[in-house]
Amino acid sequence: MTIKLHNTATRKKEVFEPLDDKNVRMYVCGPTVYDRAHLGNARPVVVFDVLYRLLRHTYGAEHVTYVRNFTDVDDKINATALARQEAGAAGTLEELVRERSNETIDWYHADMDALGALRPNEAPRATDYIAQMVAMIKDLIAKDFAYAKEGHVLFRVRASKDYGKLSGRSVDDMIAGARVEVAPFKEDPMDFVLWKPSDDGLPGWDSPWGRGRPGWHIECSAMAADLLGESFDIHGGGNDLQFPHHENEIAQSKCAGHGFARYWLHNEMLQVEGKKMSKSLGNFFTVRDLLDQGVPGEVIRFVMLSTHYRKPMDWTEKKRVEAEKTLWKWKELTAGAERLRRPHLEVVEALSDDLNTTLAISILHEKAREAKTAEDKSRFLATLEMLGLGEKWRDGVSVAVENAFALVTLKERFLAIRETARSTKDFSEVDEVKEKLDAAGVEVRMSKEGVDLIPKPNFDPTKLEGLL
Ligand code: AMP
Ligand code: ZN
């Protein structure tokens, strides 16, 4: 099957031809691990997980290498470590930084596992690759693409002839439009940092330019080369990383003489109820917040897959509810199904066409309606699994999924009781059910349009039994 991918570097959908079909290689920029991942951070994880699954399906699982890094050099991580040290925590600053990063890396893995994302083959941490970064910076200086000044090393942007090509901008436009930092140690305001000095209150590593730490962009160039080789196939990340991060990665790696990535993929951003997610708008939430509210990871994943990765996606309450209903139906359909079949070819074709997950889901709706025999159902389950859905159903449904589905059923029942009460004007049953839900830790929010059942921290599903 031919895979076609939209390459940001050429702005075209291209036939994907790996350098080596026995070792297909993909690098995706991972999170800066200073806190829990927000819902937007989960989008590239789900998108590139689908691509990883498709590559594994097409080339064989053992012939694909997926690397996603952790950026654990960051001022916000340092700030938390410093605050802990000031509050009396034991250990050096480096140890406290490591402790904070370990904590957030564990959270990240747990949250992304809940979304059904496979772990990448390698998840390198920047701080384990400082030697490779220093070597690469030395090489760039030797080749005259970088210069050291006042404990900093800077990349000479104007020496890189293709700079701006990926994001489609000229260097002069970028200077006019971007907030470039003018600093006395820079030859040109566009030049960016490869290495910067650390004072005693910050983590740092010895280098030919004094004690310091790497800039963000060099991390990915050095880790990708070390783990995937100087030339590899796919590089991914969110749209917001095109400039300056990816532009800078390309400049560094190409000037060091690497072939670097051949296909660039970028996902569009996620919004919430039509608005940019931000703390000031009060619509900012993490993946963990949703999981804790009882929204199953499969539901989050399903909602994400319903929008094509190159379109902006909107997370809405309505979509969440719809996704829960659909997955509940599909779970019932595949109960007891064997997992021996190949996935539906139409779905593989849809994914092979620049990851058309939207089309894949509409095909699944059709297949679900048509599925009658045990063979149909087993094929349907195999197809769901190709999309990373339904995997948990096989080994018994996860508790979160069960609970959410129980609430969907209850909600429908509650609506029916309320309809009857409206015509008979006898609301005693409504009140009774509401009381029982309250006792089980479920808040009932009623409005003209409908009703919402929201699990509270004291939610106890065993108390729902009499109601189901
Ligand atoms: P960061 O930790 O901010 O570097 O982000 C990690 C990944 O999440 C990057 O690939 C970003 O492009 C991506 N990302 C951040 N915010 C959003 C968003 N609102 N929608 C989609 N992707 C996002
Ligand atoms: Zn990167």
pLDDT digits (tens, 9 = 90+) for 199-213: 988 889 999 999 999
Instruction: Tell me, using a 6 A CB cutoff, whether residue 269 lines ligand 1.
Output: yes
| Distance (Å, whole) CA 158 – CA 162 | 9
- Cis amide bond preceding 197, omega within 30: no
Residue-wise pLDDT for 47-73, tens only, equals: 999 999 999 999 999 999 999 999 999
Q: What is the mean pLDDT of the segment spanning 274-296?
A: 89
Q: Which domains does the chain have, with CATH numbers?
A: 18-267 (3.40.50.620), 282-393 (1.10.730.10), 399-467 (no CATH)
Phi, psi of 119 (to 5 degrees): -70, 140
The pLDDT assigned to 392 comes to 65
Name the residue with tokens 């979160």.
Answer: 400
Which is more confidently placed, 453 or 222? Answer: 222
28 Cα–ligand 1 center, Å: 11
220 Cα–ligand 2 center, Å: 5
Under a CB-based contact definition with an 8 Å cutoff, are residues 63 and 21 in contact? Answer: yes
Under a CB-based contact definition with an 8 Å cutoff, are residues 93 and 82 in contact? Answer: yes
Which is more confidently placed, 462 or 277? Answer: 277
Instruction: Tell me, using a 6 A CB cutoff, whether residue 104 lines ligand 1.
Output: no
Point out the least confidently predicted range of 255-259, 397-401, 431-435: 397-401
Instruction: Tell me, using a 6 A CB cutoff, whether residue 116 lines ligand 1.
Output: no
Which ligand 1 atom lies nearest to the CA of residue 41? 8
Fill in the DSSP letter of residue 32.
B
Under a CB-based contact definition with an 8 Å cutoff, are residues 241 and 71 in contact? Answer: no
Q: Is 161 exposed, middle or buried (0-12, 13-18, 19+ CB in 10 A)?
A: exposed
Which ligand 1 atom lies nearest to the CA of residue 240? 12
- What lies within 8 Å, CB to CB, of 400 at 6+ separation is 114, 291, 294, 295, 296, 297
Under a CB-based contact definition with an 8 Å cutoff, are residues 431 and 455 in contact? Answer: no
Q: Which ligand ends up closest to the CA of 30?
A: 1
Alpha helices, H only, 115-197: 130-142, 171-177
Q: Which ligand ends up closest to the CA of 246?
A: 2
Fill in the DSSP letter of residue 122.
B
Q: Could you give the 3-state DSSP secondary structure of residue 193? A: strand
User: Residue 10 above 60 pLDDT?
Assistant: yes
Mutate which of 240, 248, 310 to test ligand 1's pocket (most atoms within 8 Å of Cβ)?
A: 240
Instruction: Tell me, using a 6 A CB cutoff, whether residue 31 lines ligand 1.
Output: yes
